[in-house]
């Protein structure tokens, strides 16, 4: 669930400067409405919720929402993905409110690179955010790295060591051609095979672990027991096993990260629809879903970005920052 489409960074692979129209404020669901939509999702079987964005920590009074979600009996796993910059002010409150797990994005250990990629000089704040998450008890963290050739593929072993030294789990994500990835090019994707090869040459032998639940990450281990994940969304899309539904901050339901149109739930909710009626709508959409964006993209010859600036301006929901990564 994306709780806001706003972000404090401008990562070139997600939300490059000038590529976005923000969702109108009046169309953003209130915290009560978001909690109601999550209850609707639980009526059709949802047990896990990941809060994301945009940058979810920019949403005012987020701990209040976390507490409301933590109180929904059907929710067994409540997690959040964040860039961690505002975290020092919020980590303790989020923990007390009932947030279970945190995933933090860290694409580089180098402040200058971070600034180039995100257009913000905030690497020190990211590290402070990681420390605050540790102090608040969110350990182990998952540390997400989007691997983009020419920007950070030389840091994979260093990022893995950084995670290991702190007892966290590194997860390397192939660079996807989704939403605002306007400079995407197949040559910039560092495939899972190369990620493994690079890590093996610096960290020693790697073994694949047996697949677990429906997590998109393939898990691997070093000989010292360090476990890490790779999300090969580009070279090995997992559409067939995908069980994720996405709710946007304006209350639309999407059944694929690549989809342009979602099912509006906020309109009917504001018009007075009961949660049970909304659940029937969600059930219908879920059962009839036939999108497999990652696999469809494999068929595209001369593959480039999946959207251009005019598409993103006309259809804000195409953006990863709107749909929630
Ligand atoms: N602002 C938060 C953050 O930075 O983690 C949450 C939202 S962000 C859209 C969620 C995740 O999507 C991050 O791990 C980010 O790196 C990933 N992401 C965004 N664009 C991507 C792309 N083109 N390819 C792969 N992952 C991407």
Q: Is the CB of 177 under 6 A from ligand 1?
A: no
Backbone angles phi, psi at 60, to 5 degrees: -65, 145
Residue 20 lies in a domain: no
CA distances from 2 to 67, 128, 170 (A): 16, 24, 23
Task: Put residue 309 in one of left, alpha, beta given phi > 0 → left and psi -120 to 50 → alpha.
Answer: alpha
Q: Is the CB of 175 under 6 A from ligand 1?
A: yes
Determine if ligand 1 sits within 6 Å of the CB of residue 321. yes
Beta carbons within 10 angstroms of residue 276's beta carbon:
9
pLDDT number for residue 20: 86
pLDDT of residue 74: 98
Distance CA 82, CA 102 (A): 8
d(CA 281, CA 290): 16
Q: Residue 265 and residue 278: Cα distance in Å, rounded?
A: 7
Answer whether residue 18 is part of any domain: no
Task: State the distance from the centre of ligand 1 to the C-alpha of 14, rounded, in angstroms.
Answer: 7
Strand partners, 247: 253
The answer to whether the CB of 52 is under 6 A from ligand 1 is: yes
The encoded tokens of residue 320 equal 């990863």
Token duo for residue 66 = 């976390």
Residue 229 covered by a domain: yes
What angle do helix axes 156-166 and 192-203 make, rounded to 10 degrees? 70
Question: Does residue 161 belong to any structural domain of this protein?
Answer: yes
Supply the pLDDT for residue 12. Answer: 93
Q: Is residue 17 part of a domain?
A: no
The tally of domains found in the chain comes to 1
- Please tell me if the CB atom of residue 171 comes closer than 6 angstroms to any atom of ligand 1: no
Atom of ligand 1 nearest to the CA of 107: 16
What's this model's pTM, rounded to 2 decimal places? 0.97
Any atom of ligand 1 within 6 Å of the Cβ of 118: no
Does some domain include residue 4? no
| CATH classification at residue 34 | 3.20.20.70
CA torsion through residues 23, 24, 26, 31, sign: positive
Enumerate helices (H) and strands (E) in the chain, giving the number of each.
Answer: 12, 11
Q: Which two tokens stand for residue 321?
A: 């920052």
Cα(270) to ligand 1 centroid in Å equals 30
* Strand, coil or helix: 144: strand
10 Å Cβ neighbour count for 86? 18
Ligand 1 atom with least separation from CA of 2: 7
137 and 164 Cβ atoms separated by less than 8 Å? no
Domain-embedded: residue 160: yes
Please give the residue range of the domain that contains residue 287: 25-323
What three-state secondary structure class fits 109? coil
In order along the chain (325 residues), what is the average pLDDT of each group of 10 residues? Answer: 97 89 96 98 98 98 98 98 98 98 98 97 98 98 98 98 98 96 97 98 96 84 97 94 95 95 97 98 96 92 93 93 90
Atom 17 of ligand 1 has which residue's CA nearest to it? 325
In a domain, 226, yes or no: yes
CB 142 near ligand 1, within 6 Å: no
pLDDT of 314: 92
């Amino acid at each position: 669930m994306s709780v806001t489409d706003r972000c404090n960074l401008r990562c070139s692979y997600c939300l490059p400067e000038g590529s976005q129209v923000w969702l109108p404020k009046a169309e953003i669901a209130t915290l009560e409405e978001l909690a109601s939509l999550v209850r609707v999702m639980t009526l059709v079987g949802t047990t896990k919720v990941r809060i994301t964005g945009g940058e979810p920590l920019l949403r005012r009074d987020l701990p209040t929402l976390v507490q409301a979600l933590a109180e929904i009996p059907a929710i067994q796993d409540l997690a959040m993905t964040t860039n961690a910059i505002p975290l020092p002010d919020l980590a303790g409150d989020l923990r007390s409110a009932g947030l279970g797990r945190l995933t933090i994005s860290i694409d580089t250990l180098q402040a200058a690179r971070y600034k180039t990629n995100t257009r913000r000089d905030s690497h020190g704040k990211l590290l402070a955010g990681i420390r605050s998450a540790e102090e608040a008890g969110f350990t182990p963290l998952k540390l997400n790295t989007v691997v983009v050739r020419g920007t950070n593929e030389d840091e994979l072993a260093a990022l893995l060591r950084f995670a290991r030294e702190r007892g966290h789990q590194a997860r390397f994500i192939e660079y996807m051609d989704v939403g605002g990835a306007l400079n995407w090019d197949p040559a910039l994707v560092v495939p899972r095979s190369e990620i493994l090869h690079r890590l093996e040459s610096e960290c020693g032998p790697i073994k694949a672990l047996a697949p677990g639940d429906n997590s998109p990450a393939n898990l691997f281990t070093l000989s010292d027991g360090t476990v890490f994940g790779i999300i090969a969304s580009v070279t090995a899309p997992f559409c067939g096993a995908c069980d994720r539904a996405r709710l946007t901050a304006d209350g639309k339901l999407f059944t694929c990260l690549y989809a342009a149109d979602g099912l509006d739930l906020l309109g009917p909710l504001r018009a007075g629809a009961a949660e049970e009626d909304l659940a029937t709508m969600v059930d219908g959409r879920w059962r009839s879903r036939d999108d497999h964006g990652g696999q469809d993209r494999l068929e595209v010859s001369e593959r480039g970005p999946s959207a251009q600036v005019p598409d993103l301006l006309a259809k804000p929901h195409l953006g990863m920052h709107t749909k929630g990564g």
